[in-house]
Amino acid sequence: MSIEKIVEQALQDGYLTPSMEAEVGRICNTASELSIEEYMALDRLMGALLTGEVVVLPRKQFINVMEELVLSEAIARVAEIEENSEQSLDVGDIAAYALNRLPPLYATTEEGAQYQRSRAKEELQVLIANQVKEAIERNLNRAAQNQTVLGKSTGEAVLSQVSSLLQTYAQNYDPTSNMTSKPINTSSVHEIGQDY
């Protein structure tokens, strides 16, 4: 949106929103030079702001209390798991998974946030714990699958894994359609794999 349209909208509505203000700032910061029309529009906006014809809407700070609660739960559960095993988990992935399955709890004041916290602890704590637990289980299962696919070190095992992956991801691939096939010398691949 251009500066002229933003100013016109602000004059029509009687207020300048934070996003409109940010867009004007972005245009002014990125333009190498403003046009006469843009300067005139900014001058009109400044006059309207000074007279009170246009009011700047304040920026609101929103707090999603659910983020705090989920992060606290995830950090506590991950710490327990990492303390008792060799597993390493991504708290961000776990929290994001759980948050996508829980209702947001927004507040604009600390009093509102405190109300949301106490309400969530009474009504949603079991749901939060279950979603974090499910997220951790999915994360652990994904890590176990990755280890299974990549964890074996013999040459035959690697060939078997590659063959399995190719069958899974290239089901419709016909190797004879694009190139002449050449037999692979598996003994050299097997020897390379056994060096590890």
pLDDT value, residue 101: 94
pLDDT tens-digit map of 55-87: 888 776 788 899 999 999 998 888 888 888 877
* CA torsion through residues 112, 118, 124, 128, sign: positive
Higher pLDDT, 96 or 1: 96
Higher pLDDT, 178 or 143: 143
Higher pLDDT, 166 or 62: 62
Distance (Å) of CA 134 to CA 64, 74, 127, 171: 21, 11, 11, 32
pLDDT tens-digit map of 128-164: 999 999 999 998 888 667 665 545 456 666 666 667 6
Q: For the chain, what are the domain ranges?
A: 3-56, 63-150, 155-194
pTM of this structure: 0.49
